[in-house]
Copies of this chain bind each other. A is one copy, B any other.
Amino acid sequence: MAKKTGEKYQAIIDAAVRVIAKHGYHNSQVSRIAREAKVADGTIYLYFENKDDILISVFNEKMGQFIETCRERISTAGTIQEKLYILIHAHLSQLSQNPEFAIVTQIELRQSNEKISKGIGEVLKTYLTLIDGIIEEGIAEGIFHEELDVRMARKMIYGTIDETVTSWVMKQCKYDLISLVEPIHNLFLYGLVRR
């Protein structure tokens, strides 16, 4: 029914990101996205089931690329510590370079409804699995604590980075996000306590 390809499909996805970033989720009417994408309102429904589907697709498309980029970069790393470093860096640098998308993921998409949350959850899982992989490898290599709770460690990593980006967006993306990679990396590896 809804065909998920074609240049109009992409145009709508891109328009949606721009509109949501600019006007906020609650002011992103279908007709506004249509206008921004220079298509008719009805055309939207040739490519998307409904409004939620636009939002979910936006996230999937963009997040898909995001994760792929992370995975590729990590694969170039040597040590576990480097992989973790690259993960943090890839996450922050990508959002840093695309503040509009950052606004959408950190703020606007969380203001949406349950159905969207679920749709998003699916893709996020892939990302979390990527993090899990690094942690498990670290344990297997004897670098990380062997009794580490993988899911817990993942929550620390994801939760910390996510909170960092949210703070940055809330502060109008005014400061340099990349400079935080190093301190985050250190916190993850060695924690708060001095030796």
A153 at the interface (CB under 8 A from B): yes
A49 at the interface (CB under 8 A from B): no
A174 at the interface (CB under 8 A from B): no
Q: Which candidate, A9-17, A69-77, A162-170, is the interface stretch facing chain B?
A: A162-170
In this complex, what residue of B is CB-closest to A84?
B192
In this complex, what residue of B is CB-closest to A116?
B111
| B160-A155 in contact (CB<8A) | yes
Tally of chain A residues near chain B (CB < 8 A): 48
Q: A153-B192, A188-B192, A189-B193 are in contact. Are A163 and B158 (CB under 8 A)?
A: yes
CB-defined contacts of A162 to chain B, threshold 8 Å: 159, 163
Q: A111-B113, A192-B188 are in contact. Are A163 and B155 (CB under 8 A)?
A: yes
Q: Which A168-195 residues have C-beta < 8 A from chain B?
A: 170, 180, 183-184, 186-195
* 8 Å CB contact of A191 from B112, B114, B190: B190
Please report A residues at the B interface, Cβ cutoff 8 Å.
Answer: 24, 26, 81, 84, 107, 110-114, 117, 121, 135, 138, 142-146, 148-149, 151-153, 155-156, 158-164, 167, 170, 180, 183-184, 186-195
